[in-house]
Structure 1
Amino acid sequence: MSCYYAVTSALVSPFPSPSSTSLLSLNSGDDVEVKPNFNQNGYKWRLLLAYDGTRYAGWQYQESPPTVQCAVEKALIKATKLQRKDLQLVGASRTDAGVHAWGQVAHFITPFNYNNLDRIHAALNGLLPKDIRVREISPASSEFHARFSAKSKIYHYKIYSDTIMDPFQRHFAYHNMYKLNSDAMREAAKYFIGKHDFSAFENASHNDRVPDPVKHIFRFDVKEMGALLQLEVEGSGFLYRQVRNMVALLLQIGKEAIPPDIVPHILSSRDRKELAKYSFYLPPHGLCLVSINYNESHLLPPPGCPAKSFGMHHTIRKCKTIFY
């Protein structure tokens, strides 16, 4: 499949017919070639997104509350002149309300084929609110799927342990005023590693999907950075609120309220009510989706495509300062 690109609302003119090839002359003087689409599924693009989830009701599209997907779709609709059903935007992870992301991945489809990605990249960031950024945009093969091609996901949960909360961390870390035993937390985290049934760590979901409760946790690290404790977990996938529920239990273990070997007992129970006896609700703002790993073969661009866009860098070509 050939490479493909969208165009900003300021640059869009009516789409060429599927049987024709035409040129659009842009204000910059650059010609953008629009080729017919021979793939019935359209041309696929991959987005790497970062966002502050504080004011959003999660990633997933909803009719009324603001969600990240709604904001991204709104920008894409203006940039491409396509409708939501045509774009078919899919996110890799349905982050919950208040959860942040540095490495969310999504894909969408267009019928265009353009010569450069930098302009659509700049256009999307110009249309998006400032708490959502497109970090990269690249062509993707027809085999790539943001959700189903993923091999693993990495989440971080930050805990700020001090009597007084750092005001610059208040939106991105949970405030804990108790002294924590980080060694006990590390010991307990090891019990999560491997393939387990995590039914005891899943909250009831609002969608109709019946997820597989068996997940593979590849690593679970507890890192100390001064007053900040960062819990890093990588897994094949996660159930609804699984990461926050695991961290909440580790927090109780860090307070020495319960021993580390309580973890295998709760895992084997496969009962969310069993976890509730020892743990408590942990807010979402300390959680961040850091990165998603994919099969390398699914990341290969279609033949003949230019490089992905990391954003345009501006340089000063001539000094305009008046010297005396």
Structure 2
Amino acid sequence: MRTVRLDLAYRGTGFRGFAANEGVRTVAGDLASALEQITGEAPALVVAGRTDAGVHATAQVVSFRIGGEGLRRITDGTPQDTGLDRLASSLNRRVNPDIAITAAALADDDFDARRSATARAYEYRARNAAHPDPRFADLEWHVRDRLDLDLMNAAARHFVGEHDFRSFCRRPKDRPGASLVRTVTRAQWHADGALLLFDIEANAFCHQMVRAVVGHCVAVGRGDRSAKNVPAVLAARDRHAAAPIAPPHGLTLVAVRYTDA
């Protein structure tokens, strides 16, 4: 058995999220189907960051274990060669244009796309203008109300550091007692004309955390919330204390970091 690492990008518009879900189209479902056509089996996929319906990725990472005939088919019988260009090409013929495999390689046996990751980074796009740009309607949150970028950054700075993000996360149903403590190393808004870009990086994110943080920052930018009150909202550890979450389509996973990469 060997571990395979896939680096991929996808436009989340047509998918009901990454994770396989019976009866709906998902990134994992399309990817597993293509792998089964190529290898003769559908290996269990491990993903660095599960994305919700409508969320995009430019730098997602997936790993899976494979051996026997399936391994022989993707390595030409030479598993000592770590590059799997033929696998990437075969997958892309089946999953393009909504998914793109940007790299495929044999990884160390102990590599796990999720557990081996040391950090993830997301970008959120919001267009602050009277009208949306139809070219990017499925990639940006259109916010008509005037936003104060300085206030939004004042709010964002409070999220940097180690915090319990219970006020900004949906608690996992399968693990109700799981810790929601996360360490954010970067959280900042930038303006490019009417386009506002939010960059955030952390060791890990809980469910809907980035969208909740963005939604709260936008509420501050509108004047509906106070930037100075963010520490109190964090301390409340109550999902109802924060502003409504931002829509999913403005969010993109842009980086997954590993100690050896």
Relative to the length of structure 1, the TM-score reads 0.75
Q: Distance in 1 between matches of 2:176 and 2:197?
A: 31
- For the 8 Å contact 1:158–1:287, the answer to whether it is kept is yes
- For the 8 Å contact 2:214–2:245, the answer to whether it is kept is no
**Unpaired segments ≥5 residues, structure 1:** 1-41, 300-324
Q: Distance in 2 between matches of 1:208 and 1:76?
A: 30
Mapping for residues 68-79 of structure 1, pairs under 5 Å: 68-79=27-38
- Residue of structure 1 equivalent to 2:229: 262
User: What is the aligned counterpart of 1:280 among 238, 244, 256?
Assistant: 244
- For the 8 Å contact 1:211–1:239, the answer to whether it is kept is no
Q: Distance in 2 between matches of 1:210 and 1:106?
A: 26
| One-letter code aligned to 1:101 | A
**C-alpha deviation, 1:211, in angstroms:** 2.9
**C-alpha deviation, 1:136, in angstroms:** 0.8
Mapping for residues 216-235 of structure 1, pairs under 5 Å: 216-235=183-202
Percentage of matched positions with identical amino acids? 33
Q: Deviation per CA, 1:263-322, whole angstroms, max 9, x where unpaired?
A: 1010011111222xxx124210000011100121xx6xxxxxxxxxxxxxxxxxxxxxxx
**C-alpha deviation, 1:147, in angstroms:** 0.3
- For the 8 Å contact 2:130–2:144, the answer to whether it is kept is yes
- For the 8 Å contact 1:172–1:285, the answer to whether it is kept is yes
| One-letter code aligned to 1:60 | A
**C-alpha deviation, 1:109, in angstroms:** 1.8
User: What is the aligned counterpart of 2:50 among 94, 101, 116?
Assistant: 94
3-state SS of paired residue (2:158)? helix
3-state SS of paired residue (2:227)? coil
Q: Distance in 1 between matches of 2:54 and 2:123?
A: 14
- Residue of structure 1 equivalent to 2:9: 50
Q: Distance in 2 between matches of 1:149 and 1:67?
A: 24
Q: Deviation per CA, 1:106-147, whole angstroms, max 9, x where unpaired?
A: 011221252462221110000114201101111100121000
Q: Is 1:163 aligned with 2:130?
A: yes
Runs of 4+ in 1 over 6 A off after TM superposition: none
**C-alpha deviation, 1:257, in angstroms:** 2.0
- Residue of structure 1 equivalent to 2:217: 250
Q: Distance in 2 between matches of 1:110 and 1:203?
A: 33
- Could you say if the C-alpha distance between residues 206 and 51 of structure 1 is closer, same or farther in structure 2, counting changes exceeding 3 Å? farther
CA RMSD of aligned residues (A): 1.4
- For the 8 Å contact 1:49–1:134, the answer to whether it is kept is yes
> Which structure would you say has the larger Rg?
1
- For the 8 Å contact 1:93–1:147, the answer to whether it is kept is yes
Q: Deviation per CA, 1:70-126, whole angstroms, max 9, x where unpaired?
A: 0000000001112x2xx2211111111111011110011221252462221110000
3-state SS of paired residue (1:171)? coil
Q: Distance in 1 between matches of 2:95 and 2:174?
A: 27
Q: Distance in 2 between matches of 1:124 and 1:217?
A: 34
Q: Distance in 2 between matches of 1:171 and 1:205?
A: 27
Higher helix share: 2
**Unpaired segments ≥5 residues, structure 2:** none
| One-letter code aligned to 2:61 | V
- For the 8 Å contact 1:61–1:70, the answer to whether it is kept is yes
